[in-house]
Structure 1
Amino acid sequence: MKQEEPQIAPPAIRLAWKKYRHLWKSAEVPAKHLLLKEGDISRKAFLIEKGSIRTWFYHDGKEISFQFFFEGDVVSSRQSMRKHTPSPFSIETLEPTSIRWLDAGDMEQVRKDPVLYQFIIEQTSDKQAEFMQHFFSYLKDSPTQRYENLLRQKPEVIRRVPLQHIASYLGITQVSLSRIRNKIK
């Protein structure tokens, strides 16, 4: 099968991609598939072509979802990959997902390309800002406000992510989420 550059990326990224397409591997992954298990050392970075992924960790015996990724997003446990330390979280598909992935060694080659490196930095910065916004919302907003923010700012999460993962992301039970959703309707 001939590998094409991902069509979800901007033109400059697609052009840079061509230099490295021989390094990328493709996979069709079913829903609920662990790409990385919490505690394992990450050896791959993933680019989502189609589908969705969540990152989560265990706390007090419960799965806590803390980020969601969709088409065009790059997902990895960067700290684990770069420092060869156990990942503090798992990476799991939420739906059947088409991914491209790079091994950690190949990722170092890609990082040397200024266009792709900038893309990686921008993706990482955007996700970090999103995570910080969620973190502060978690500290200062009520569960209803957090749900309304999610509804307004990330409707794709509401449409595509199972309710139990949305509830854990918001820091509430599914019953509380159901009550909030019914109250807002």
Structure 2
Amino acid sequence: MIFQFQKQFPQLNTYWQRYLPLQKRLDVPAKTKLLDEGVNSQHAIYVEKGCLRTYFNNNGEEKTVQFFFEEEGLSSLDSFINNSPSPFTIETVEPSVVYMLSKKHVLQLLDELTHEPDFLMMFMKITAKRLTHYSGEFISFIRDTPEQRYQRLLEERPHIIQRVSQHYIASYLGVSSVHLSRIKHKLAKGNAHF
């Protein structure tokens, strides 16, 4: 969702104010599904407060793909753009306040934004930032061990470890909760020698 970049692009504030009445504000508890896997995505989501995750079902086991926090936006983009079934579920991890903007209004907003002089560059920067992040995640999943991925989480995004339960983090790293406990113990033991 483009509103997550309000701070970098102040001109978006005008649009946020204009589109705020068209957004549906939801104050929802943890474990609330905002989009089910297999359903066509019809909304862009902006997180005002809380934490969301995306996950898919793999033979009855949930595999967490990503976490989203305050001032971040998301949707099942391929589903949203191509009107196809979403490959994942979007669910709240903790009590959250989110704004949902319908596809109709997102398309209207994008049409209006095309008249902004710097929109193309802004959009390219937003897209590049997202692609860089996801490429890094993909490469790390292939190249790094679970221990290295966990260490990166500790260093680069400690808020995930502080706010998200261990079984979701384990799922995100592609390991069992037991394996994650071993990793944490091993790292704690290693740090104790310094």
TM-score (norm 2): 0.84
How many aligned residue pairs are there?
A: 180
* Partner in structure 2 of residue 182 of structure 1: 185
- Equivalent residues of 2:44, 2:100 under 8 A apart: yes
Aligned to 1:85: 84
**Equivalent pairs: percent with the same residue?**
38
Contact 1:73 1:123 in 2 (8 A): no
- Is 2:57–2:63's contact at 8 Å kept on the other side of the alignment? yes
CA-CA distance at 1:75 after TM superposition: 1.1
Structure 1 stretches of 5 or more lacking a match?
1-5
1:1-185 to 2 correspondences below 5 Å: 9-10=6-7, 11-112=10-111, 113-114=113-114, 122-185=125-188
Structure 2 residue identity aligned to 1:64: K
Cα 1:165–1:140 shift into 2, 3 Å: same
Q: Using a 3 Å threshold, how does the CA distance of structure 1 residues 128 and 162 change in structure 2: closer, same or farther?
A: farther
In our comparison, the structure showing a higher alpha carbon Rg is 2
Cα displacement (A) at 1:125: 3.8
TM-score, length of structure 1 as denominator length: 0.88
The AA in structure 1 aligned to 2:68 is F
CA 1:161/1:127 → structure 2, altered by over 3 Å: closer, same or farther? Answer: farther
RMSD: 2.2
- Structure 2 gaps of 5+ residues are 189-194
Question: Aligned pair in 2 of structure 1 residues 7, 106: CA closer, same or farther (>3 Å)?
Answer: closer
Judged with a 3 Å threshold, the aligned counterparts in structure 2 of structure 1 residues 37 and 71 are, in CA distance, closer, same or farther, namely same
CA distance in 1, matches of 2:60, 2:24: 34
| Alpha-carbon distance, 1:111 to partner | 1.2
Amino acid paired to 1:42: S
The separation in 2 between residues aligned to 1:162 and 1:120, in whole angstroms, is 34
Q: Cα deviation per residue 1:99-139 (whole Å; 9 max; x = unaligned)?
A: 11101111101112146966666555433322221111111
What SS is found at the alignment partner of 2:149? helix
